[in-house]
Structure 1
């Protein structure tokens, strides 16, 4: 397999889509990886496996409609394998085996058959102390944007997923790219004041447009840099509640086609005003776990 990912919006040809099958019982509060999952565990509204399977099947049908090759993880019973974006990421023709939470290491084995189709010289394995997840890495042609946490209490934050060493190593592995990091706002307990990944508060869409949420960025100047980079007239700013509902976490099939949650009325209307076709799917149950469409997809090949 010849990988090729340069940005978030070029025409998609091959993708890994996670699976909700065999995701196991409702976690205990102590097992929650993020504050939104914890909120739903405590409220008794954590999503049911059969509902999440239906939602992911709807996305798979959209991929089939656009003749996209879809890879699914091998099902491991009692392991949540929905969020394929966390465990690996493709930059150019290289795939990075992410250092994710130790409890989730089994997930990478479920897509080992995909790695086996890739030239070993194009597989990057980072040292154990370099932490990175795919949701924190957004490609934009000559740029690699990276969400990061450099706080001294990093080890105590279950929501801190990418560290400064990973950013340094990305610069070494991709010297021809400009790697720019953004300090994200983190909270173990408040999902409305927590940007779990960079794609929870920012995502490029279409041709030169972007979705942004100011409060997701811990340093205002870094948010303003992105506004200036894309141009204020090209930015769709989402509210704190919209970030909580994962409105920046849609997924682009092409510059003029996105998959979005069916209830995102304000965002979907904006897409259509930009001439972007919106493939609407139900995904609110998946969203209860702190991730949405981009989180559950890991692109392998774009034109």
Structure 2
């Protein structure tokens, strides 16, 4: 398998899509990895497995429509394997295995059959001290955008997933790229004030556009850098409720086609007004776990 990913919007050829089968029992509050999951556990509204399977199969159907090769994790009994973006990512021709929460180590085992098809020299595991997850990593041409948290209290946030050691390691691995990191707002308890990953508050879309939530960024200057980089006229600003709903977490099949939640009516109208085809699905149940379309996909080849 010849890996190739240099941005978020080139034509998708191959992807690993998560799987919701045998997702396991409803977690306890203590087992929740993020404030949104905890919220729905408390309310007794944690998503049902059959509903999540249906949502994910609707995305698989869209991929088939566009002749995308779709890999799925092997099923581990009673285990959450929905969010493949967390466990790895591709930059250029390198597959980077994420250093994820220890409780989720088994997830990478379920995609070993895919990794085994790659050139082993291009499969990279960062040192243990480098915390990193794919939702924080966005290749963008000559840039690599990375979400992080720079606070000295990093270790107190279960929602802080990518640290500065990982940012530095990525820069060393890709010295020809401009690595730009963004300090994200974190909360263990308030989902409306928590940017779990960079793709929870920002994502490039189309040829030159981006979706962004200002308050997801702790430093105004870094938010403004992105606005200036893309141009204010090319930015779709989302509010706190839209970030909570995961509106920035759509997924591009190409510059001209995206998969989006049908509930994002304001965003979908804007995308269509710029000539982008929107393939609508419902992902409301999966969204209860503070992840959406980008989170549940791991692109392998974009050409």
Classify the secondary structure of the residue corresponding to 1:168.
helix
The total of aligned residue pairs comes to: 303
Distance 2:150 2:224 in 1: 20
Query: Could you list the per-position Cα deviations for residues 143-172 of structure 1 after superposition, in whole angstroms to 9, with x for gaps in the alignment?
Result: 000000121111110000000000000000
Classify the secondary structure of the residue corresponding to 1:79.
coil
Classify the secondary structure of the residue corresponding to 1:299.
strand
Are residue 210 (structure 1) and residue 237 (structure 2) matched? no
Are residue 80 (structure 1) and residue 80 (structure 2) matched? yes
Classify the secondary structure of the residue corresponding to 2:155.
helix
Query: Could you list the per-position Cα deviations for residues 91-127 of structure 1 after superposition, in whole angstroms to 9, with x for gaps in the alignment?
Result: 0000001100000000000001111000111011111
Classify the secondary structure of the residue corresponding to 2:289.
coil
Are residue 71 (structure 1) and residue 34 (structure 2) matched? no
For residues 19-98 of structure 1, what are the structure 2 equivalents within 5 Å?
Answer: 19-98=19-98
Aligned equivalent of 2:201? 201
Aligned equivalent of 1:174? 174
Aligned equivalent of 1:254? 254
Aligned equivalent of 1:151? 151
Are residue 276 (structure 1) and residue 276 (structure 2) matched? yes
RMSD, aligned α-carbons: 0.4
Aligned equivalent of 1:163? 163
Distance 1:169 1:163 in 2: 10
Classify the secondary structure of the residue corresponding to 1:226.
helix
TM-score by length of 2: 1.00
Query: Could you list the per-position Cα deviations for residues 261-298 of structure 1 after superposition, in whole angstroms to 9, with x for gaps in the alignment?
Result: 01110000000000000000010100000000000000
Distance 1:59 1:142 in 2: 30
Query: Could you list the per-position Cα deviations for residues 199-240 of structure 1 after superposition, in whole angstroms to 9, with x for gaps in the alignment?
Result: 000000001100000000000100000000000000000000
Classify the secondary structure of the residue corresponding to 2:285.
helix
**Which blocks of at least 5 consecutive residues in structure 2 are unaligned?**
none
Aligned equivalent of 2:220? 220
Runs of 4+ residues over 4 Å off in structure 1: none
Distance 2:152 2:35 in 1: 20
Aligned equivalent of 1:17? 17
Distance 1:25 1:11 in 2: 37
Are residue 241 (structure 1) and residue 241 (structure 2) matched? yes
TM-score by length of 1: 1.00
Classify the secondary structure of the residue corresponding to 2:132.
coil
Aligned equivalent of 2:230? 230
Aligned equivalent of 1:112? 112
Aligned equivalent of 2:126? 126
Distance 1:263 1:191 in 2: 19
Are residue 7 (structure 1) and residue 28 (structure 2) matched? no
Aligned equivalent of 1:295? 295
Distance 2:182 2:176 in 1: 19
